[in-house]
Structure 1
């Protein structure tokens, strides 16, 4: 491990997720599906519960509204806060 890598302290993914609770997030899933919603809760497997969830089309517009959904963590490619995506 390089000296630079030892000095760089990255936050754990779960710590980052904890800061996103009750905020709007965008999640890219396997199968090229993008979902936006309010992160309600998550667990150590990165299973997510989103409220007011909607699937987005390629342009970022709402394609389908789901309400509350559970996303299995193994299907998640990445999660971003909506502020970071803007």
Structure 2
């Protein structure tokens, strides 16, 4: 087998994000903060705008409600679709 056949083709992170627009996402941030909200828009630096955002406690319950927030991409550890988690 050639090297090309053995390589796994991964989708671009921005293409994955584009499929999450207008869906509920969960983002884990630096500082052990977890935020859930509807992904409104993002940019090439993975800065996110979430609507109906809320900070979650360790169990996954809403700890604080924020409304619309901007999350700087450099603070994000991972983003997951809530549909995928369910």
Smaller-chain TM-score bracket: over 0.9
Q: Which residue of 1 aligns with 2:23?
A: 23
Please give the per-residue CA displacement for 1:49-84, whole angstroms capped at 9, x wherever unaligned: 000000000000000000000000000000000011
**In structure 1, distance between residues paired with 2:79 and 2:63:** 19
For normalisation by structure 2, the TM-score amounts to: 0.93
TM-score by length of 1: 0.93
The separation in 2 between residues aligned to 1:20 and 1:9, in whole angstroms, is: 20
Gaps of 5+ in 2: none
Instruction: Compute the displacement of 1:8 (Å).
Output: 1.6
Q: Which moved more, 1:62-71 or 1:3-12?
A: 3-12
Q: Which runs of 5+ in 1 are unaligned?
A: none
Secondary structure at 1:36's aligned position in 2? strand
Which segments of structure 1 move beyond 4 Å, counting only runs of 4 or more? none
Q: Aligned residues, how many?
A: 86
Structural RMSD (CA): 2.0
